[in-house]
């Protein structure tokens, strides 16, 4: 890591620029001292609640992460959340309302969160 990057991290660690607050950087060591690598799963665009959502495959991926102790970066767009003001026809095609979608995503991700395997969550578009 070059000196400029190191100085940026040190000066901004613990701060957050969201809504006018300074930047906060989360630092987490993914590689235990006795291992040579860490497995990272990028998980997103589930669109839970839309008819084409492959919930079975999503659960299998998250079960794998739990079993292998792989870290997960949630990439966003986990729910469909179609509203009458949304572009497209998803509001008429979704299989769950937005509240039920949120509850299902929380249920899906809770075991990973309790295991400390979620290293970040990008909310999406």
| Residue 21 binned pLDDT confidence (cut-offs 50, 70, 90) | low
| 45 and 8 share one domain | no
| 59 and 110 share one domain | yes
What does the pLDDT read at residue 121? 86
| 24 and 35 share one domain | no
| 18 and 35 share one domain | no
The answer to whether 116 touches 81, Cβ cutoff 8 Å, is no
| 65 and 103 share one domain | yes
Average pLDDT on 107-116 reads 95
| Number of Cβ within a 10 Å radius of residue 70 | 17
Q: What percent of the chain has pLDDT over 90?
A: 49
| 105 and 63 share one domain | yes
| 5 and 37 share one domain | no
| 82 and 102 share one domain | yes
Residue 111 has pLDDT above 80, yes or no: yes
- Average pLDDT taken over every residue of the chain: 84
* Residue 26 burial class via C-beta count within 10 angstroms: exposed 0-12, middle 13-18, buried 19 and up: exposed
Per the model's pLDDT, the better-predicted residue between 2 and 39 turns out to be 39
| 111 and 60 share one domain | yes
| 47 and 105 share one domain | yes
Range of the domain at 92: 31-121
In angstroms, the CA 93 to CA 115 distance is: 34
What does the pLDDT read at residue 26? 64
| 21 and 48 share one domain | no
Per the model's pLDDT, the better-predicted residue between 25 and 102 turns out to be 102
pLDDT tens per residue across span 78-106: 999 888 888 888 888 899 998 999 999 99
Number of independent structural domains in the chain: 2
Average pLDDT on 50-60 reads 95
| 44 and 99 share one domain | yes
């Amino acid at each position: 890591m070059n000196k400029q990057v190191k100085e940026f991290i040190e000066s901004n660690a613990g701060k957050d620029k969201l809504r006018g607050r300074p930047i906060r950087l989360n630092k987490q060591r993914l590689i235990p001292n006795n291992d040579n690598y860490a497995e990272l799963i990028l998980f997103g665009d589930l669109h839970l609640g839309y008819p084409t959502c492959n919930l079975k495959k999503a659960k299998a991926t998250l079960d794998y992460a739990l079993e292998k102790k792989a870290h997960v970066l949630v990439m966003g767009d986990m729910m469909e959340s179609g509203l009458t003001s949304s572009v497209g026809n998803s509001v008429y095609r979704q299989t769950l309302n937005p509240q039920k979608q949120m509850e299902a995503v929380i249920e899906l991700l809770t075991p990973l969160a309790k295991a400390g395997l979620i290293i970040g969550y990008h909310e999406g578009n």
